[in-house]
Amino acid sequence: MMGFDLGNLLQQYIGGAQNANTAQAADDFERVAQNAPRETVAQGVTQALRSDQTPPFPQMVSHMFGQSNPDQRAGMLNQILASVGPQILSSVGGGALGNILGGHQGGQPQVTPEQASQVSPEQVQEIAAKAEQHNPGVVDTMGNFYAQHPNLVKAVGGAALAIALGHIAQGMQQRRQ
């Protein structure tokens, strides 16, 4: 049994950010992320990443990358690489990520936390933009990744969190039907 009413908490977010207390959204998001099904949280985060009421996807990924620890940074980059493949590395940031990974032959390269710390948020923004052009499904991949790291999602700000919470609320309602 949950210690609070998830449905009531989420109800205030249905209808989007304009109705919500965005300052409260960070606390609410953390509680929801701990109690709602992860796939519902992932869908909500993905919708916020796609929303025309939030900054563009590459900008939000870059911002969250800047707030991340080295392990999270490596995880983010590996998620993007898995979505688009290593060929995109050579075309981004003057090939910076390709240089960092070295002439990796065969298989999918894995970015280590040490390598990820050599990549700037600006380069990540460029990588995310290229990845989204190359494979729009990367937004879903990242939404799923961020659902596992709700502390990072809080870095995008109240309006984006309110949008995510609104979509989570709708997802929870649909699950109950």
pLDDT tens track for 56-65: 999 999 999 9
How many independent structural domains does the chain possess?
Answer: 1
CA dist., res. 31 & res. 69, Å (int): 22
Residue 13 in any domain: the answer is no
Whether 11 maps to a domain, the answer reads: no
At residue 125, what is the residue type? Q
Over residues 23-39, the mean pLDDT reads 88
**At 5, which amino acid appears?**
D
pLDDT of residue 5: 74
Determine contact, residues 158/23, Cβ cutoff 8 Å: yes
Residue 111, in any domain of the structure: yes
H-helix segments, 36-84: 38-50, 57-66, 70-84
Q: How far apart are CA 25 and CA 15, in angstroms?
A: 14
Residue 64 in domain: yes
Domain that holds residue 69: 18-176
Q: Is residue 42 part of a domain?
A: yes
Q: What percent of the chain has pLDDT over 90?
A: 47
